[in-house]
Amino acid sequence: MKSNSIARIAILGLPLALGAADPPGTTPATPLPARASIAAVSGNLPNALPVAAPRPMTTAEATPALSGVGMPLIPEQVIRPIDLPCALRLAGANDLDIAIAREGVAQAMAELQQARVMWLPSLYLGPNWIRHDGQAQTVQGPVQSISKSSLFLGATAAAGSSVSGPVPAGGPAQVSGLTSILRFSDAIFEPLAARQVAAARRAAIDRATNDALLGVAEAYMDLQLAAGTLAIAREAAANAETLAKLTSSYARTGAGLDADYRRAVTERDRQRKNVEAAVGDLEAASAELVRRTRLDPRLVVAPVEPPESVLRMVPQGFSLDELITTGLRNRPELAEAQALVQATLVRLKQAKLRPYIPSLAFRYSGGGFGGGTNSFFGDFASRSDADVNLYWEIQNLGFADKAIARQRAAQSRTACLEKLKVQDRVAAEVVQAVKGRIAASRRMQEAARAVPEALESLDLNLTNIRRGAGLPGATRPIEVLQPIQALALARTDYLAAVLAYNRSEFRLTRAVGRPPGVQAAPVAAGPPPARVAAGPDPSVDVRERPR
């Protein structure tokens, strides 16, 4: 299969209202588009969402703001527009999980550098003074009472990393202990294992980036859902206000019932309550997006793209098997797991070969040495000493070596099982995203047909009311209540279906191993226009094979 990048769809005419150079909490230098209804400074929350090109306005867009309803929760707070590409760029630049993953790479590279220099000796600089008073055995054998002292000024180069206490007979410090021994097995295999760990940490950056971008995309769609719900609630409240005025007029003239008017007023108040609830949901979704993008927490952001914009990120013409294969090939989680498996295999080989690879204890010291009996210091001259020991170690008669090898083998098998878990999760995520996209697409098609029908029903009922009470075919004003509710429900269903489709596109893009980058953007604004039959949303489908 030819390797190509997954198709990216560029923005078609959607202005980037929030520049990346604008600092949080300031008014952008460029004015907002004329159709945009999002205040750049303190003002009302969006009554409708901006569009790129002239088109028939939706009912929500044509509805004016309700007096005293839907105001920001905190007066004079800053409301800033934000688009999806800008949110993704901010996530890639500011996300703390990505920064933590980068620091993990820095730590792994430092450990790799430390493993590579295990061959080099350590240097110890400084004086060494010794005094002895009392019994001591001479070289010939007799025990005598001796009082002596000595001073060594110089340096010691040793294959280890620490030194022990002074030698009783004087001279430079003796190198001893495990920390002072160069194990060739460690010097050979530790850099190989550290290199695999560093590769795993680099893959972790890609994983953290994918997760951060998906999280921001989900948060942005939550914000779009809240903004769309607010627009729908405003439209329903305005329609209910119109119905309350009609029923009031009919009740005053005796052409209608006062009970109908009371019922219409109740519906109006309920819809106004929905507007206030939608404002709260919008600002809560804004706070979550601000947290993920690490903007000024005092800001309220509102989406630039219409909520009904449909995203096309992964081409439709690929089978489920192809997409699963693509995910297994490209997901950074699998690259990370594979690198960790390789690291455990290196350490397993090290444990098996450890008894057969010798170790080296090496020391060389040079400097000035002098001393004498009692407190006499003299006879200073140069002195140098060298000790080299090459040996093989069978730890605890070989039983400890076998235990270490079994431990490393268990760690390797555990890493392989963890990799299998990641493979299963990747395949499941691809399947879930593909089926979620198919289901959302069908749901979107069905929901799109309901909106024009609801609009037409509302138009017909309003037309019948205007014919006058008592005339043949006239509609009681209160009968408009159900079409108002039906239109709000139809719009809500369509909005939820579109956003479910967009979420599945982002999830599928991540599942196959390609993060939703900043170039991906809505290709069409597809809300059903007011009182016009809604057809399928236009889109661009670039058929490239994923790799």
pLDDT at 471: 53
**Could you please report the per-residue DSSP string of 18-58?**
S-TTSPTTS--SSPPPTT----SSSSPPPSS---SS--PPP
Compute the chain's Rg from CA coordinates.
38
pLDDT in 10s for each residue of the chain, 547 residues: 333 332 332 222 222 222 233 333 333 332 223 322 222 223 334 333 333 333 333 333 434 455 567 677 777 777 889 988 888 888 888 888 888 888 888 888 888 888 888 888 777 777 877 777 888 877 788 888 888 877 778 777 776 544 444 433 334 444 333 336 778 888 889 999 999 999 999 999 989 988 999 999 999 999 999 999 999 999 999 888 888 888 888 788 777 778 888 888 888 888 889 999 999 999 999 999 999 998 888 889 989 888 888 888 888 888 889 899 889 989 999 999 999 999 999 999 999 998 998 888 777 778 887 777 776 667 778 888 777 778 888 888 889 889 999 999 999 999 999 999 999 999 999 999 999 999 999 999 999 888 888 888 888 887 777 666 555 556 677 778 888 889 999 999 999 999 999 999 999 999 998 644 333 333 333 333 333 223 333 333 323 333 3
Task: Check residue 513 and give its pLDDT.
Answer: 84
Which of these, 307, 182, 237, lies nearest to 68 by C-alpha position? Answer: 237
Judge contact between 457 and 486, C-beta under 8 A.
yes
Predicted local distance difference test score (pLDDT) of residue 475: 63
> Is 0.85 topped by the overall pTM?
no
Spatial separation of the C-alpha atoms in residues 462 and 208, rounded to whole Å: 54
**What's the CATH class of domain 79-114+191-348+409-512?**
mainly alpha
Rounded Cα–Cα distance for residues 47 and 232 (Å): 9
CB 161 within 8 A of CB 186: no
Domain ranges of the chain: 79-114+191-348+409-512, 124-136+143-183+359-400
